Amino acid sequence: MSVSTHRPAHGSGFRPGGRFASRRAASGFSLVEVLLATLVVGTLLAAATGAIGGAVSARDTLSAEPVTAFGLAREVHSLALVLPRDAGDGLPAARGADVALLEDLDGATFSPPVSAARTALAHATGWSQEVTVEAVDLAAPGSLAADASAAAVLLRLTVVVREGADLRGTYVWWLNP
C-alpha cells in the first residue's frame, strides 16, 4: 500500500497535516455579517427599552395612586374579622376609633376612610367607606334574618367605596356570626 505524498500548491486551502482551512476564517467577519449582527442587537435593545419603559410607567402610576377602592374595602373587612359579635347600642360609629363591636360598623360611613387598625387614612382624603352588616337567613338567602344569633345565619358585610360622589366599588364578604 502506498501513501500519497502529493501536496497541493501553497494557498489552496490545505494546512499541513491535511486539515482544510478556509481563507474566510483567516480574514474575520464580513461586512454583511457585522451589519446583520448589529441589526439584531439593535432590535433587541429597542424592544427591551420599550418593555422597561412600560414597566417604569406602570410602577409610577401604582405608586402615585396608592389608594384603591378594593384596598379601602379590604381595610374594613380586615377590621370586621377581629371585632366581637356582641350586641351594642345599635348606633353606627362616627369614627374608626369608635368601633368596638361588629355592630358599630353597620350603617357607618367613614370619610376619610379607616384602616383595620381603626385609624383615619389621611392619604385617602376625598374617599369614603359606607358599611352595612346584615344577618342573612340561610333557609331564605334573599331575606334578612330576624335573629342574628340563630344557627342558620351568615352575616353579609357590604362596603361601598366612593371617591367624592363617584362610586368606585361595592364589595361583599360573608362572615360567620
- Cα–Cα distance measured from residue 135 to residue 17, given in angstroms and rounded to the nearest whole number: 94
Q: Residue 31: give the domain boundaries.
A: 23-64
Both 109 and 131 in one domain: the answer is yes
Question: Is 113 contained in some domain?
Answer: yes
- Please state whether 154 falls in left (phi above 0), alpha (psi between -120 and 50) or beta: beta
Both 76 and 29 in one domain: the answer is no
Both 77 and 132 in one domain: the answer is yes
Q: What's residue 127's pLDDT?
A: 93
- Cα–Cα distance measured from residue 91 to residue 106, given in angstroms and rounded to the nearest whole number: 8
Four-point Cα dihedral 131, 177, 89, 107, nearest 10? 10
Domain tally for the chain? 2
Of the residues 64, 84, 118, the one at which a domain ends: 64
Q: How confident is the model at residue 137 (pLDDT cuts 50, 70, 90)?
A: confident
pLDDT tens-digit series, residues 54-112: 777 766 655 544 468 899 999 999 999 999 888 888 899 988 899 999 999 999 999 99
Question: Is 2 contained in some domain?
Answer: no
Of the residues 64, 93, 123, the one at which a domain ends: 64
Question: Average per-residue pLDDT in the chain?
Answer: 81
- Cα–Cα distance measured from residue 106 to residue 90, given in angstroms and rounded to the nearest whole number: 8
Both 92 and 30 in one domain: the answer is no
Higher-pLDDT residue of 149 and 72 is 72
Q: How confident is the model at residue 10 (pLDDT cuts 50, 70, 90)?
A: low
Both 108 and 138 in one domain: the answer is yes
Both 54 and 84 in one domain: the answer is no
Mean pLDDT for 147-162 is 84
pLDDT at residue 157 tops 90 = yes
Both 33 and 78 in one domain: the answer is no
Both 126 and 164 in one domain: the answer is yes
Integer CA distances (angstroms), 21 to 8, 33, 73, in order? 13, 20, 74
Both 137 and 120 in one domain: the answer is yes
Both 96 and 122 in one domain: the answer is yes
